Amino acid sequence: MRAQGKLMTGHASRIGADLAGIAMTFTAAPSPPRCWRTFCRACCSMVAIATVCLLFGRPGGATVRPQRLRCRTCGLRCLPRSFRSEVARILPGWRTVRLRDLAGEDRSYWIEHHPQWCPGLVYESFGPHGEKGWVLALVRRRRRQLLETVLYVRTAGGKPRITFLIRPAPATLGVISKIKPGVYNGAEGDRSEHIPFDGILFEIPGRASFIEYLDSSGNARSLQVSE
């Protein structure tokens, strides 16, 4: 034990001497020019930023995920500019259904069950070709009457293309959310349909629900699932 203690003491002495020599070397070295110090600080800052991006960033940038995206406005500004322009050209004066449009229990239900979703806006792969696009529930008041429509906007041939799932018509306010492919029964139980792709559930709170989807040929279809 004593021999081991002497060995450790000798090692410590040599290490201390080495460190002292290194410190004297750095102390005696001339200070680098200011431009070099500035360059070093810039490099350190870049390394720090890159490290933060690697630790906390997500690959691919800000990838929009279907309806999990809660665009803060839940409005048409969430869409790419070309899509907004096309919607405004075909349906001037229309806007998306928003949380503030829901009243009382309907709003509470939506917040509880879809806290990160917009009631009038869904982004998803919709239809037979798996195209990413936006499904919108749009409303407009004409005099004292509320009009509503549901449409699907995506890129086709390099240009925005719109498919109406529900044509503009007088309506009671409805909201949309995403549903998975599967077999769904109709409201009266005498009809069931296989929904081959992601679809849209269009709900009129307290009244009725419909599944809106595209079939294998890309045609808009509808199935009432509750009354």
Domain identity same for 210 and 150: yes
Residue 175 lies in a domain: yes
pLDDT in tens, 7-50: 344 444 444 444 444 444 444 445 555 544 555 465 455 544 44
Range(s) of the domain holding residue 160: 76-226
Q: Please state the length of the chain.
A: 227
Domain identity same for 12 and 118: no
Domain identity same for 29 and 131: no
- Please give the average per-residue pLDDT across 215-219, as a whole number: 86
- Please give the average per-residue pLDDT across 190-207, as a whole number: 88
- Which amino acid type is present at position 67? Q
Confidence of residue 218 (pLDDT cuts 50, 70, 90): confident
Domain identity same for 148 and 43: no
Q: Give the total number of structural domains in the chain.
A: 2
Least confident of 67-81, 102-116, 140-154, 157-171: 67-81
Domain identity same for 198 and 116: yes
Q: What confidence score (pLDDT) does residue 20 get?
A: 47
Token couple for 171 = 């309506």
Query: Beta-carbon neighbour count of residue 74 at 10 Å?
Result: 21
Residue 62 lies in a domain: no
Q: CA-to-CA distance for 169 and 179, rounded, in angstroms?
A: 24
- 123 close to 134: Cβ distance less than 8 angstroms: yes
For residue 210, what are the β-bridge partners? 202, 224
Greater pLDDT, 125 or 69: 125
Domain identity same for 184 and 106: yes
For residue 148, what are the β-bridge partners? 139, 169
pLDDT at residue 99 is higher than 80: yes
Q: pTM higher than 0.75, yes or no?
A: no
Token couple for 211 = 């599944």
Domain identity same for 132 and 193: yes
Between the CA of residue 161 and those of 183, 201, 203, 224, what are the distances in Å?
28, 21, 25, 26
- Please give the average per-residue pLDDT across 143-163, as a whole number: 91
Domain identity same for 7 and 116: no
For residue 202, what are the β-bridge partners? 176, 210
Q: What confidence score (pLDDT) does residue 46 get?
A: 52
Q: CA-to-CA distance for 119 and 110, rounded, in angstroms?
A: 8
Token couple for 27 = 């102390």
Residue 183 lies in a domain: yes
Domain identity same for 25 and 108: no
Percent with pLDDT over 70 in the chain: 69
Q: What confidence score (pLDDT) does residue 190 get?
A: 77
Distance of CA 16 to the CA centre of its chain: 57
Greater pLDDT, 62 or 145: 145
Domain identity same for 85 and 161: yes
Q: What confidence score (pLDDT) does residue 34 get?
A: 58
Residue 195 lies in a domain: yes
Domain identity same for 83 and 21: no
Between the CA of residue 110 and those of 11, 21, 60, 178, 179, what are the distances in Å?
70, 70, 30, 13, 15
Q: What confidence score (pLDDT) does residue 167 get?
A: 94
Q: CA-to-CA distance for 133 and 125, rounded, in angstroms?
A: 6
pLDDT at residue 211 is higher than 80: yes
